[in-house]
Structure 1
Amino acid sequence: MKVEFAPRSLPLQRRLQTAAVVQWVFSFLALAQCCIAAFIALLFTRFWLLSALYAVWWFLDRETPGKGGRRIHILRKSIVWRYMRDYFPITLVKTAELDPRQNYLAGFHPHGVLAAGAFINFCTEASGFSTLFPGITPHLMFLTLWFRVPFFRDYAMSGGLVPSDKESASYLLKKPEGGNLLTIIVGGAQEALDARPGSYTLLLKNRKGFVRLAIENGTPLVPIFSFGENDLYEQVRNPRGSCLRWLQHRLQQIMGVSLPLFHARGIFQYSFGLIPYRRPIVSVVGKPIPVQKKHNPSEEEVDEVHQKYINELTKLFEEHKAKYNIPEDRHLEFI
C-alpha cells in the first residue's frame, strides 16, 4: 500500500488542530486505562500517599457524578477544543428556542464511532452552545463504568458528562428551576457498529427508555441529528449475521462498550491510522416536543410519544439533508 504523507509545508494552525484531535482520541481510547495503571502504580512507590488520599477523596465524592457532576468552565472553554472544532469543522445549528425555565431531554443521533459532535457541542463551549442557548446548561450522558475510574472520573465531569443511569437523569430533569439540557446518545455503543460513511441506520425502534423518562418527568424531548457524524471513519465490513458482528455484539453485552474495527488516517500521513478524517459535522437541534407528565405511563402512551419523536427526527433529517449534500433518495433507517 502506498503511503501518502502530509506535506511539510502545512501551516502551524492545521498542525495544532491535528494535535488537539490526537489528544482527544487518546483520551477516548486510552486515558481511563492509563489512570487505572497510574493509581495502582503509585501505591508501590514512595508516592503511595497520593493514591491513598485520592481514594479517601473518591469515597467522599462518590455521589457527585450522579448529582449533576462538577464542571470546570476554564477547561470547557479551553483553546484546545476550538482547535479540535476547526479540524473537522464542527458546527451547532439551532432551529428553535429553548426556554431556560424548562428542563429538556435531548436525543442525539447518530452515535458515530467516537461521538465527536456530541462531545464538542455539549462538553465544551467551542461551538458556542451558551451563546445559542442562553440560560441552558448542557449535560451529556456517558457510560456509568467510566465514573468508577480514578482520576478519569474527574476529567469526565469537568466537561459536563454524567452517568447514563436513571437516577442521574432524574436528578437533573426534576430540578424545579429548570435550565438543564440532558443529552443522551440514544443508539449507544451498539449503534457505533453501524457507523460508516453514507450510513443512516439508527438504533431507535426499541429504544424507549428515554421516552418513558421524559413522560415521568414531564420533560420536553428534543431531537438532534448530527450530519457527518458517521463520515469520520471507515469500518471493517461487519454486516448483521456475520461472525464478526456476532462477536462484537457479544463483547458489547459483556463489557458494556462496543469494539468497532475502525480506521482513517494517521498523524503524519493520510493512508491509515486512528485519527478521524477532516470531514464537516453539523449537529442540528430540533424543536422541543411537549410531553404530558404521568408518573406511571402505559406502554401505549410510551409508544405514542416514541412514534411522535421518530416522526420529528425524520422531519428534521429530511428538511436539512439537502444542505449537507445527502442524496434525495437517502432516508433514515430505524432498527
Structure 2
Amino acid sequence: MAIDFAPLRIPFRRRLQTLVVLQWVFSFLVLAQCCVALFIALFLSRLWFVPVLYATWWLWDRHTPYRGGRRSNFIRGLRMWNYFRDYFPMRLIKTADLDPQRNYIFGFHPHGVLVAGAFGNFCTEVTGFQKLFPGLKPHMLMLSLWFRIPFFRDYIMSGGLVPSDKESAKYLLRRAGGGNVAVIAIGGAPEALNARPGELTLLLKKRKGFVKLALQFGARLVPVFSFGENEVFDQVRNPKGSFLRKVQERLQSVMGISLPLFHARGIFQYSFGLIPYRKPIHTVVGKPIEVEKNENPTLGEIDELHQKYIEELTKLFEEHKTKYKVAEDRHLTFI
C-alpha cells in the first residue's frame, strides 16, 4: 500500500492542531492506564507517601463526582482547545433559547467512536456554549469506571464530566433554580460499534431511562444531533453476527466499555493511524420538549414522551441535514 505522506511545508498552526488532537486521543485511549501505572510506581518508590496522601484525600473526596463533580473554568477555557476546535473544525449551533431557570437533559446523537463533538462542545468553552446558553452549566455523563482511577478522575472532572450513574444524574436534575444540563450520549458504548462514515443508525428504541429521569424531575428534554460525528473515523467491518462483533459485544457486557477497532490517519501521513480525519463537525442543539414533573410515571407516559422525543430528533435531523452534506434521501434508523 502506497503511503500518502503529509507535505513538509504545513502552517505551524495546523501542526499545533494535530498535536492537541493527538493529546486528546491519547487521553481517551491510554491516559487512565498511565495514571494507574504512575500511582503504583510512586507507591513502590521512595515517594510512597504521595499515593498514600492521595488515597486518603480520595477517600474523603469519593462522593464529589456524584455531586456535580469539580469543573475548572481554567481547564475548560485553555487556549489549546481552540486548536482542537479548529482541527476539524467544530461548531455548536443553537436553534432555540433555553431558560436558565430550568434543568435539562441533552440527548446527544450519534455516539461516534470517541464522542468528539460532545467533548469539544460541552467539556470545553471554545465553541461558545456559555455565550449561546448563558446561565447553564453542561455536565457530560461518562462511564463511572473512569472515576475510580487515581489522578485521571480529577482530570476528567475538570472538564465537567460526571459519572453516568442515576445518582449523579439525579443530583444535577434536582437542583433548585435550574441551570444544570445533563449531557447523555444516549446510544452509549454499544452504539460506538456502529460508528463509521455514512452511518445513520441510532440505538434508541429501548433507551428510555433518560425519559423517565426527565419526567421524575420535570427536566426539559433537548435532542442534539452532531453532524459529522461518524465521519472522523473509519472502523473495521463488524456486522451483526460476525465473530468480531460477538467478541466486541462480549467484552462490552463484561467490561462496560466498547472496543471499536477504529482507524483514520497518522501524524505525518494520511494513510493509516488513530488521528481523526479533518472532517467538519456541526453539533445542532434542538428545541426543548416541555416535560411536566411526575415522580411516578407510568410505562405509558414514558413511552409517550419517548415517542415524542424520537419525533423531535427526527425533525431536527431532517431540517438540517442538507446544510451539512447529508443527502436528501438519507434518513435516521432507530434500533
For normalisation by structure 2, the TM-score amounts to 0.99
Q: Which residue of 2 aligns with 1:134?
A: 134
- What does the per-residue CA deviation read over 1:285-322, in whole Å, with 9 as the maximum and x for residues that have no partner? 00000111111111111000000000000000000001
For 2:156, the equivalent position in structure 1 comes to: 156
The aligned residue for residue 111 of structure 1 is 111
In 1, the alpha carbon distance for the partners of 2:242 and 2:5 equals 34
Equivalents in 2 of 1:252, 1:215: separation in Å?
29
AA paired with 2:322? Answer: A
Match of 1:102 in 2: 102
Structure 2: how far apart are the matches of 1:277 and 1:76? 23
| Correspondence 1:62-77 to 2 at 5 A | 62-77=62-77
Distance 2:290 2:85 in 1: 32
Q: Deviations over 1:221-267 (max 9, x none)?
A: 00000000000111111111111111111110000000111100001
How many Å apart are 1:275 and its aligned residue? 0.4
* TM-aligned CA deviation for residue 150 of structure 1: 0.2
1:207 is matched with 207
Aligned residue number for residue 289 of structure 1:
289
Q: Do structure 1's residue 238 and structure 2's residue 255 form an aligned pair?
A: no
Q: SS at 2:249's partner residue?
A: helix
Query: 1:328 Cα deviation (Å)?
Result: 0.7
Count of paired positions:
335
Which residue does the alignment assign to 1:18?
A: 18
Structure 1 ranges of 4+ moved more than 6 A: none
Matched, 1:303 2:303: yes
Question: Where does residue 53 of structure 2 map in the other structure?
Answer: 53
Q: Hey, what's the Cα distance between the residues in 2 that align with 1:296 and 1:247?
A: 38
TM-score by length of 1: 0.99
1:39 and 1:325 mapped to 2: Cα distance? 47
Write the distance in 2 (CA, Å) between the matches of 1:101 and 1:208: 25
Q: Distance in 2 between matches of 1:234 and 1:148?
A: 30
Which segments of 5 or more consecutive residues in structure 1 lack a partner in the other structure?
A: none
The one-character-per-residue Cα deviations of 1:95-118 (angstroms, maximum 9, x if unpaired) are: 000101000011000000000000
Separation of aligned partners in 2, 1:320 and 1:102:
26
* Residue identity opposite 1:240 in structure 2: K
1: CA distance, partners of 2:103 / 2:219: 6
In structure 1, the partner of 2:80 is 80
Report how far residue 80 of structure 1 moved.
1.1
Distance 1:143 1:15 in 2: 32
Whole-Å separation in 1 of the counterparts to 2:69 and 2:270: 38
For residue 321 of structure 2, what is the aligned residue in structure 1? 321
1:125-274 matches, cutoff 5 A: 125-274=125-274
> What amino acid does structure 2 have at the position aligned with 1:82?
N
Q: What is the identity, as a one-letter code, of the residue corresponding to 2:241?
A: G
* Deviation for aligned residue 1:131: 0.6
1:5 CA drift (Å): 0.9
Please, what is the CA RMSD of the aligned residues?
0.5
Task: Give the drift of 1:7.
Answer: 0.8
Q: Give the drift of 1:147.
A: 0.2
The letter of the residue matching 1:183 is V
Cα deviation code 1:75-127 (max 9, x no counterpart):
10001111000000010000000101000011000000000000010000010
Q: Tell me how far 1:37 sits from its aligned partner.
A: 0.6
Amino acid at match of 1:6: A
- Provide the rounded CA distance (Å) in 2 between the counterparts of 1:325 and 1:207: 28
